[in-house]
Structure 1
Amino acid sequence: MTTDTLHKEGKTQKVIAKEADCSQSSVSKHINREAKGRKRCGRKNVQAIGIIAPWRELKQNPFKNMEEIHKEWTPAGVSASRTTTHRRLQDMGFSCRIPCVKTLLNNRQRQKRLAWTKDKKDWTAAEWSKVMFSDESKFCISFGNQGPRVWRKRGEAQNPRCLRSSVKFPQSVMVWGAMSSAGVAPLCFLRSKVNAAVYQDVFEHFMLPAADQLYGDSDFIFQQDLAPAHSAKATSTWFKDHGIPVLNWPANSPDLNPIENLWCIVKRKM
């Protein structure tokens, strides 16, 4: 859909400019030029024509590549090069970036996250300071594609000093840790599969001593995710026997746990 089509439909210049994502003055000049029968010399002004269909399609599906986007310009009435297409997208405010990765959530999990947020939105800083956030994280020698960049000259791509080594099965270790506003707990290196028994052993030797050091005789709330070892009946019984309240936590919500930022800092420093 072009500016001419929108004008024939009786749209105002302001509406056309908004739909075409261009200035109102460009729309006015284009309409006046067509009304007087004058043709524009030189290359077509893509900004004045305004490509509505590809723009709407890109808003609905932002994962299209440049080749797919470029092919959609011809049905819209514009013949432009790939460079012009790319420049036009930049003018519209689009930039091609590596997408951020986030845990997939179903509708039920989204509703539980929303309910959890509404329930906790009135918590004060003093209430959050009582929470001890915990989590396990795997530390590997190789971090996949998240390695440092290399400065090299042309032809040095295969130079041994410019290569980063990788292995299929890198050595790794699972680490348990906890943090709160009062400080951090000592790290626990887990050398076996984490089940309910191993998890309770971590509580006895690491979590309880850290809680005594950080909180003393004051009350605290323990936070954990919904991993099988965490949500086991034996684990719930252990918390009840020791009188430790556990913070209600929505499923698949690592982004709500501030300890994830701490793990990221540690791994980046490593």
Structure 2
Amino acid sequence: MGKTKEHTIQVRQMCVDLHKSGNGYKKIATRLHLSISTVRGIIKKFKTTGTVVNKPGRGRKFILPPRTVRRMIREIKSSPKLTVTELQQMVASWGHKVSKTTIRRYLHANKLFGRHARKKPFLTHNHKCKRLEFAKRYYDFNWDRVLWSDETKIELFGNKCSKWVWRNTRAEYAEKHLMPTVKYGGGSVMLWACFSSKGPGNLVRVHGIMNALKYQDILKQNLVASARKLKMGRHWVFQQDNDPKHVAKSTQKWFTAHRIKLLPCPSQSPDLNPIENLWGELKRRVQRRGSRSLDDLERMCKEEWSKIPLSVFSHLVKHYRRRLGAVLLAKGGCTKY
């Protein structure tokens, strides 16, 4: 027989009050429309505990002693990449044989959950020192003067994210439930672009393999033109990463000859270049439209680049100090950006 519905505290209290006033079980049961056994149980519980309120249960019995749990938590915090199986074997070597579910339950109780590790560039001690030095030196810099730049590659069928579909169990390979893939992404286009807090600069397609000479040709045709388009004035600074073609001697001579000031950027630091956020936004916009050819993809990229709201550009630059603050807080390590 299943568990019946529990009576309210008010009903149980009325039962006790009637019993105190001298009424018998049968009379109380008739008045409150209860069974005699229910009334007897309520009165018996009141005499035993002194209250009609249910006492809290003791909960699940602990399988592992607290000392073993603390030791397990220390191990997982010092080595967060341990699997549940490895942890189970470790606990068994301590003299306690438990299931994987029990291991997970104890970890969850201590607010430790299995999550995918974030992918970030590898940072050496020298990288961290350079990032920390950059954050300290340029924390109060006027970032509205900076013209940010970078390159990216966009594949024709480069949507690598997961897609959810509504289907039944047997329709998993129906054409409308599949996400088509093509080897090597079906081809790709290499793009170069720049921006500032005032908006987007030029976005151009790079044909073939980019080397130092081709990079200089792109700068010659688009860098100063973008600065004039964005009304940067005379005291703007150009930012680029430490790609070999960017730091080549011929490229550095080109910057010197054209009197362009450079903002030094630490290596392995894509989180310190806000244009990475714009690349993500551009790729999402292009993927929503879908393209049939590389020329079509190039056209869509240029259209969507110009459609990104100006508030997005200004917001990225306005809150750039948060990135530097995160680097300082991480002592030069990786940040969430």
The TM-score with structure 1 as length reference comes to 0.78
TM-superposition CA deviations, 1:227-247 (whole Å, max 9, x none) = 111001111111111111000
Change (3 A) 1:172 1:118: same
The two structures, once aligned, show a CA RMSD in angstroms of 2.2
- Counterpart of 2:115? 97
Distance in 1 separating the partners of 2:161 and 2:132: 31
- Counterpart of 1:243? 259
1:162-173 matches, within 5 Å, as: 162-170=177-185, 171-173=187-189
Structure 1 residue 45: Cα displacement: 4.4
Q: Identify the match of residue 203 of structure 1 among 219, 229, 242.
A: 219
Change (3 A) 1:110 1:49: closer
- Counterpart of 2:163? 148
Helix, strand or coil: the match of 1:155? helix
1:212-223 matches, within 5 Å, as: 212-223=228-239
Task: Tell which deviates more after alignment, 148-157 or 173-182.
Answer: 148-157
Aligned residue pairs, count? 228
2:172 aligned with 1:157, yes or no? yes
1:159 partner letter: A
Structure 1 residue 47: Cα displacement: 7.3
Distance in 2 separating the partners of 1:147 and 1:137: 21
2:93 aligned with 1:78, yes or no? no
2:133 partner letter: A
Distance in 2 separating the partners of 1:155 and 1:83: 30
Question: Among the aligned pairs, what percent are the same residue?
Answer: 33
TM-superposition CA deviations, 1:193-246 (whole Å, max 9, x none) = 111111111112212111111125332000000111100111111111111100
- Counterpart of 2:302? none
Structure 1 residue 72: Cα displacement: 2.1
1:87 partner letter: R
Change (3 A) 1:222 1:101: same
2:73 aligned with 1:55, yes or no? yes
- Counterpart of 1:65? 83
2:226 aligned with 1:179, yes or no? no
- Counterpart of 1:258? 274
Structure 1 residue 50: Cα displacement: 4.7
Helix, strand or coil: the match of 1:72? helix
Structure 1 residue 43: Cα displacement: 4.5
Change (3 A) 1:66 1:216: closer
Distance in 1 separating the partners of 2:202 and 2:79: 46
Change (3 A) 1:45 1:216: closer
Change (3 A) 1:143 1:149: farther
Change (3 A) 1:90 1:47: farther
Greater helix content? 2
Structure 1 residue 121: Cα displacement: 1.7
Helix, strand or coil: the match of 1:229? coil
- Contact (CA 8 Å) 2:145, 2:232: kept in 1 or not? no
- Contact (CA 8 Å) 1:53, 1:76: kept in 2 or not? no
TM-superposition CA deviations, 1:33-80 (whole Å, max 9, x none) = xxxxxxx9x843447455133222211221122211222222334332
Structure 1 residue 117: Cα displacement: 1.1
Distance in 2 separating the partners of 1:139 and 1:47: 54
**Structure 2 unaligned regions, length at least 5:** 1-57, 288-337
Which of the two has higher C-alpha Rg?
2
1:139 partner letter: I
1:89 partner letter: L
Point out 4+ residue stretches in structure 1 off by more than 6 angstroms: none
- Counterpart of 1:31? none
- Contact (CA 8 Å) 2:69, 2:106: kept in 1 or not? no
- Counterpart of 2:136? 118
- Counterpart of 1:11? none
Structure 1 residue 155: Cα displacement: 2.6
2:169 partner letter: R
- Contact (CA 8 Å) 1:51, 1:73: kept in 2 or not? no
Change (3 A) 1:169 1:73: same
1:219-238 matches, within 5 Å, as: 219-238=235-254
